[in-house]
């Protein structure tokens, strides 16, 4: 294993860069503590799920830089980043991670507003008379 592995995850407009290195389990998110940045236990569990499944979260230090989107999208983008970093370390777990859906990038994005319409698909009210 190299000194540091990087995994990038995206969802909607959220982009997360995860730097994973051997350490004692310290997780830094945008210069803040992990518990402080992601206050919900569910989000923290979701992010650490790939590590818990195949490795111990206490074995690695994670340096996470995330921007854009909301907290939930950021959490899912970070999970993808962690999964990709794990696969870079150990190629054998790729199939298992893929099976669990941790390596699948959610392609859904917000559709752009079109001219002559109220939104992406919604139209202005039609009046026959």
d(CA 106, CA 102): 10
> Hunting for tokens 């518990």 — which residue is that?
35
- pLDDT tens per residue across span 44-71: 999 999 999 887 788 899 999 999 999 9
Please spell the DSSP secondary structure of 58-115, one letter per residue: GGEEEEEEEESS-HHHHHHHHHHHHHHHHHHH-GGGHHHHHHHTTT------PPPPPT
Tens of pLDDT, residue by residue over 64-114, are: 999 999 999 999 999 999 999 999 988 899 999 999 999 999 999 989 999
Does domain 5-100 correspond to CATH entry 3.30.230.10? yes
Distance CA 29, CA 31 (A): 5
Domain limits, the chain? 5-100
Indicate the length of the chain as a whole number: 129
């Amino acid at each position: 294993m190299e000194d540091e592995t990087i995994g990038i995850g995206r969802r909607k407009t959220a982009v997360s860069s995860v730097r994973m290195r051997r350490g004692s389990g310290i997780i830094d998110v945008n210069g803040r503590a992990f518990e402080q940045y992601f206050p919900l236990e569910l989000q923290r569990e979701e992010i650490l799920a790939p590590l818990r499944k195949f490795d111990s979260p206490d074995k690695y230090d994670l340096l996470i830089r995330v921007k854009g989107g909301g907290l939930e999208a950021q959490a899912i983008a970070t999970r993808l980043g962690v999964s990709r970093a794990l696969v870079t370390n150990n190629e054998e777990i790729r199939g298992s991670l893929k099976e669990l859906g941790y390596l699948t990038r959610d392609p859904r994005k917000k559709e752009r507003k079109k001219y002559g319409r109220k939104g992406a698909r919604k139209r202005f009210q039609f009046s026959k008379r």
